[in-house]
């Protein structure tokens, strides 16, 4: 039997707590530790060199330079050498071709002594000459071209010209082209000369032959003037000087 004071306390506790409330289990203040999973990782720091027995054979067309020279066989070294020699040859040919094209463009188009520059200067002289404007019309509408055909592609061809060098090194340039204006059309004749050792070209002859029965228009007649100066003087049919 329980003592009297313990029995009394137990009876009072039962009276102060409702009988219908369930008894909840006690929760610990310290939760159980969570389970953590660890995974092992591996980082590769270097790629192992390819096994020569497992890689493809190197040829002239399949070599991309990834395989080291020391790992190549004799045949593969010969293939790589041939490929690199061919690539170097292609580069050299490209440089030479580029230099040639640049030289041609400079001598025939951009240089002040090129045929295109002479052609442009002659056309400007014709547009600025009053006699040529009277024969052709408005200078802003005067067009110059090489061939007299009505075909547009044929007209856009290079202006026909010729350069001849004599035994003394003197150069002579001859050029002919057509001009068309609102009032008429004609053909231009140009002849220029550059003495040996000189850089400037000198006009010898420059004229315009208008069509429709009009007379020739001279813009330069250096040879004719020189011939008149050298002609011997005559009086009464006798040469005096």
Summarised one tens digit per residue, pLDDT across range 155-189 is 556 677 888 988 888 999 999 999 999 999 999 99
Closest C-alpha to 206, from 216, 215, 219: 219
Per-residue pLDDT in tens (0 to 9) along the chain, 241 residues:
545 555 555 555 555 555 544 554 554 555 555 545 554 455 555 555 555 556 788 887 888 888 888 888 888 888 889 988 999 999 999 999 998 888 777 766 667 678 888 899 999 999 999 999 999 999 999 999 886 555 565 555 667 788 898 888 899 999 999 999 999 999 999 999 999 888 788 999 999 999 877 899 999 998 665 555 555 555 555 555 5
The alpha helices in the chain, defined as continuous H runs, are 4-16, 74-105, 115-128, 130-136, 152-155, 222-230
**According to the model, what pLDDT value does residue 66 have?**
85
β-strand partners of 174: 162, 191
**According to the model, what pLDDT value does residue 90 have?**
93
**According to the model, what pLDDT value does residue 21 have?**
47
Q: What phi, psi does 43 have (nearest 5°)?
A: -110, 125
**pTM of the complete model:** 0.53
**According to the model, what pLDDT value does residue 133 have?**
95
Closest C-alpha to 187, from 207, 159, 161: 207
**According to the model, what pLDDT value does residue 45 have?**
54
**According to the model, what pLDDT value does residue 232 have?**
56
The alpha helices in 167-207, defined as continuous H runs, are none
Q: Selecting from 3.10.450.320, 3.40.50.10860, 3.90.400.10, 3.30.1520.10, what CATH number does the domain 115-235 have?
A: 3.10.450.320
**According to the model, what pLDDT value does residue 186 have?**
94
Q: Rounded to a whole number, what is the distance in angstroms from the first to the last CA of the chain?
A: 180
Extents of the domains making up the chain: 69-110, 115-235
């Amino acid at each position: 039997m329980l003592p009297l004071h313990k029995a009394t306390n137990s009876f009072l506790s039962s009276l102060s707590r409702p009988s219908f409330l369930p008894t909840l289990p006690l929760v610990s203040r310290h939760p159980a530790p969570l389970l953590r999973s660890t995974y092992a990782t591996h980082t590769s720091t270097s790629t192992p060199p390819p096994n020569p027995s497992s890689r493809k054979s190197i040829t002239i067309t399949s070599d991309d330079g990834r395989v080291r020279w020391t790992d190549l066989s004799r045949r593969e070294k010969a293939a790589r050498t041939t490929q690199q020699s061919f690539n170097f040859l292609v580069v050299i040919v490209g440089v030479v071709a580029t230099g040639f094209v640049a030289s041609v463009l400079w001598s025939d188009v951009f240089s002040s002594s090129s045929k295109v520059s002479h052609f442009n200067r002659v056309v400007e002289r014709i547009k600025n000459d009053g006699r040529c404007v009277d024969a052709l019309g408005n200078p802003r509408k005067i067009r110059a071209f090489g061939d007299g055909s009505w075909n547009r592609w044929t007209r856009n061809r290079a202006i026909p010209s010729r350069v001849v060098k004599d035994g003394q090194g003197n150069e002579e340039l001859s050029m002919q082209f057509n001009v068309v204006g609102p009032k008429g059309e004609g053909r231009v004749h140009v002849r220029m000369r550059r003495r040996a050792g000189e850089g400037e070209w000198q006009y010898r002859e420059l004229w315009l032959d208008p069509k429709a029965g009009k007379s020739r228009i001279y813009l330069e007649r250096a040879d004719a003037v020189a011939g008149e100066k050298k002609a011997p003087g005559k009086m009464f049919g006798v040469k005096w000087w």
